[in-house]
Amino acid sequence: MDEVDDLADGMPEILQKDPNSWKRIFVQFVVAEYLMVPIALVMMWVCVLPNADSITGQLLGEYHWSWAVAFGLFATIPMLLSIVLTAMVPWRPLVELRELVQTKMAPLFRGMPSWALFLIAMGAGFGEEWLFRGFGVQGVGWLLPDSWSPEMVQWTAILIVALVFGGLHALTPMYFFLTFVMGIYFGYLVWETESLLPAVVAHGLYDYIALLYIMRLDKEFESAE
C-alpha cells in the first residue's frame, strides 16, 4: 500500500513532465495482472486440481462461450450498485473512499486511452479470477476436512479467499468490505456456473466501468482547479 501511495503522490508531477508516462504504468499493470494466469495454471497443475490440464474446461466448464459471456454481462448489473452508492451516498466511509479514488487512484490512470483502461480491467478479470477463484478456492477446499459436506467446503473456501482478496485491496475499511463482498459474489458465480468466464467478464466489465467513472471524476476535478 505504501508503494501505491508513493507512486500516486508523484504521478501529477511525472505527468506534467512527460504526458506519455501513462504507457509505463499501463505496461506494469498489464504484465502484473495477466501474469497471474500462468501462475494460477502452474499452481493448479502442481496441486493436481480438477481441470488443471484443461484451460478450456476451467474457463468454460460445459457451457458455450457465448452463454458464459452473456451470464457475465448480466452478473455485472448488481455490482454497479456499489458505484452508485459511492457516488451518491454522503456516508463518511464512502466519502473517504471517494477522496481516496480522486487523490490516489485517478492519477495512476491519468492520460490513458479507453482501450488501455479496458485491457487493464480485463487483465484484472482474467488474472485475479484465475488466481483467486480458479486456484485459490479450489486449493483451500482441497485443504479442508473430507468429512465436511461439499457445500460447507465450498462456502468456507469462498469466504477465506474473499477475505484474502479483500485484504489485498484494503486501502480503506470500506474498500476492504466492498472487495470482500465482491469476492464472495465472484466465488459464487464460479461455483454456480462451474466455469471462470462469467466471473472474468463480470469482474473485467465492472472494473472498466469503474475506471471510466474514475477518469470522468478526474477530468471534472482538474477542470475545477
Helix extents (H) in the chain: 2-17, 22-34, 36-46, 55-60, 65-88, 92-100, 106-109, 114-128, 137-143, 150-167, 173-193, 197-224
Average pLDDT over residues 65-77: 95
pLDDT at position 50: 84
Q: What is the DSSP string of 77-132?
A: HHHHHHHHHHHH---HHHHHHHHHIIIIIHHHHTT--HHHHHHHHHHHHHHHIIII
pLDDT at position 222: 66
pLDDT at position 224: 60
pLDDT at 11 over 90: no
Which residues contact residue 125 at a Cβ distance below 8 angstroms, ignoring those fewer than 6 apart?
199, 200, 201, 202, 203, 204, 205, 207
- What's the pLDDT band for 221 if we cut at 50, 70, 90? low
Are the C-beta atoms of residues 129 and 41 closer than 8 Å to each other? no
Indicate yes or no: pTM above 0.75.
yes
- What's the pLDDT band for 19 if we cut at 50, 70, 90? low
Q: Could you report the per-residue pLDDT of 148-189, keeping only the tens digit for each?
A: 999 999 999 999 999 999 999 988 899 999 999 999 999 999
Residue with cell 477446499: 141
pLDDT at position 3: 40
Tell me the percentage of the chain whose pLDDT exceeds 90: 64
CA pair distance 141, 163, nearest whole angstrom? 15
